[in-house]
Structure 1
Amino acid sequence: MFSLEKKTVLVTGASKGIGAAIATALGAAGAHVVAHYGHDRAGAEQALASVPASRKHFVQADLHDLAATEAMWDDAQAWRGRIDVYVNNAAIMLWHGGFEADDATWDAVWEETLAVNVLAPARLIRRAVKHFLAQEGGVLVTISSWAAQRGVTNPDTIAYAASKAAVRSMTQTVARAHARDGLLAYVVAPGVVRTQMSEAFAATQGGEDKITATLAMGEWVPPEDIGNLVAFLASGTARHLSGATLDVNGASYVR
């Protein structure tokens, strides 16, 4: 068993999907949760509805804006004076950046995807590392994707796949560079999770039934599975798992 009662955890993209499930699981495990949202505060509040007011704090930031991203970390850290765990979750997937796109569309999709999925997380990971070194310990959990290992079936989302590979590599670097400093870093690589993003992706691939037929369990991953895994990783219980990429796809992709 584990408890997060003494942990302060920052989760980006906590208003829906995987991020909301992570926030809920962290709150249930006793953590003080800092829930980041872009526009949907109501979604973040719903994710932490059962958590006492003293254990939740909401921070807004548009991750396209690096100044706002930095200010969000400052706000999160100021709440309780420290952050013990940073969950790097927020990401976007854009649909019109395939090989047949015109140059302007291709460039725009890559620019926006890298801004939100790579540059903002890079700033926050840097802040986390500096903070964790100062307090002699901390946990980084990055939500990547199986797309980072196997690519995507729809090349219109190639920028998304590349961005998920980038944050995976950042997190692995933190794990290797700071293993002796008490910093633990984990990568979670979900497969097809029941989220709005995955449902939209399935629509581009012939529909949910076609996607489901390819899955070993014949079902999509519940977001709660990711939330419960991240809560466990946040506890720091499995220290020597640091640096690992944890596949969560119901045995559909086994390495």
Structure 2
Amino acid sequence: MHDLSSKTILVTGASKGIGAAIVRKLGATGAHVVAHYGSDRAGAEDAARNIPEGRKHFVQADMNDPDAIENLWDDAAGWRGGIDVFVNNAAIMLWDGGVDEPLDQWDAVWEQTLQVNVLAPARLLRRAVRDFSANGGGAIVTISSWAAQRGVSNPATIAYGASKAAIHNATQAIARSYARDNILAYVIAPGVVRTRISEEFARTQGGEDKVSAGLAMGAWVEPEEIGDLVAFLSAGTARNLSGSTIDINGASYIR
């Protein structure tokens, strides 16, 4: 296991699913973890329950509020004087954005999805690059989705897939543009992960058994595997993986 005791790591969307698993894994490595949450502080606290008090810090921010996003970075960076790794995880998937929905609903789904999944994290990416450039470097790990490359299976979630593709591209652009500034940027693209969102998705596709039947291993990805991968990338030893998209889907989608 990597020793990340010298790292301060910001994880957005830490209350549940992949974000909570990442917090647990980073805590086990000795990292100082900033756990962001929207409204579910209890979930973030539960994810960080095994992290000693001096190594965890909680920050609330509504990803729909641009001012809150700026305050989120200020609070996180102010805790220990800077951020070493930004784990760009928080996102939403809305289920009622299909082409057959009324136009006002279509527009509302796109607006909220782009705000939470693109505009808010883009602001945090901007802050990360500015701080990392001034402080000698840092790392960004964006949690994307295989939907960013292959498209979504449920067309009602088209805005989600498009949003993941946008922030995926932004992360890669940072990797290319700021490599000489010692800024590393990675994209993790999970397939079907054992989270609440995936369970909701499965219900729209005929049930979990039907989804599992279409997977090469016949099994979903456990969130802890993504946590392990984030810990590995946070160590800073995989420098030449910067810019890469790391697929984690059990051989169900191979590019």
The TM-score with structure 1 as length reference comes to 0.99
d(CA) in 2 for partners of 1:219 and 1:147? 18
Q: Which structure 2 residues correspond to residues 142-157 of structure 1 after superposition, within 5 A?
A: 142-157=142-157
Aligned to 1:83: 83
Instruction: Indicate whether 1:227 and 2:221 are aligned.
Output: no
d(CA) in 2 for partners of 1:243 and 1:26? 22
- Structure 1 segments, 4+ long, off by >2 Å, are none
d(CA) in 2 for partners of 1:128 and 1:101? 37
d(CA) in 1 for partners of 2:141 and 2:12? 11
d(CA) in 2 for partners of 1:172 and 1:159? 20
d(CA) in 2 for partners of 1:156 and 1:121? 23
d(CA) in 2 for partners of 1:51 and 1:19? 15
Structure 1, residues 5-53: CA drift from partner, whole Å, max 9, x if none?
Answer: 1000000000000000001111111100000000111111111111100
d(CA) in 2 for partners of 1:45 and 1:231? 19
d(CA) in 2 for partners of 1:222 and 1:58? 24
d(CA) in 2 for partners of 1:66 and 1:251? 38
Aligned to 1:138: 138
Structure 1, residues 67-111: CA drift from partner, whole Å, max 9, x if none?
Answer: 011101100011000100000000000011011111000000000
Aligned to 2:239: 239
Aligned to 2:167: 167
Aligned to 1:98: 98
CA contact (8 A) 2:63 2:116 kept: yes
Aligned to 1:194: 194
Q: Which structure 2 residues correspond to residues 1-255 of structure 1 after superposition, within 5 A?
A: 2-255=2-255
d(CA) in 2 for partners of 1:243 and 1:171? 8
Number of aligned residues: 255
d(CA) in 1 for partners of 2:68 and 2:179? 30
Identity of aligned residues (%): 69
Q: Which runs of 5+ in 2 are unaligned?
A: none
CA contact (8 A) 2:2 2:231 kept: no
| Offset, 1:3 | 1.3
SS in 1 for 2:200: helix
SS in 2 for 1:202: helix
d(CA) in 1 for partners of 2:209 and 2:162? 26
d(CA) in 1 for partners of 2:243 and 2:127? 19
d(CA) in 2 for partners of 1:66 and 1:28? 32
d(CA) in 2 for partners of 1:131 and 1:3? 23
SS in 1 for 2:50: coil
CA RMSD, Structure 1 to Structure 2 (Å):
0.6
d(CA) in 2 for partners of 1:139 and 1:25? 17
Paired residue type of 2:62: D
SS in 2 for 1:107: helix
Paired residue type of 2:181: D
d(CA) in 2 for partners of 1:30 and 1:2? 9
Structure 1, residues 130-170: CA drift from partner, whole Å, max 9, x if none?
Answer: 00001011000000000000001100000000000011001
| Offset, 1:2 | 2.5
d(CA) in 1 for partners of 2:182 and 2:213? 43
SS in 2 for 1:69: helix
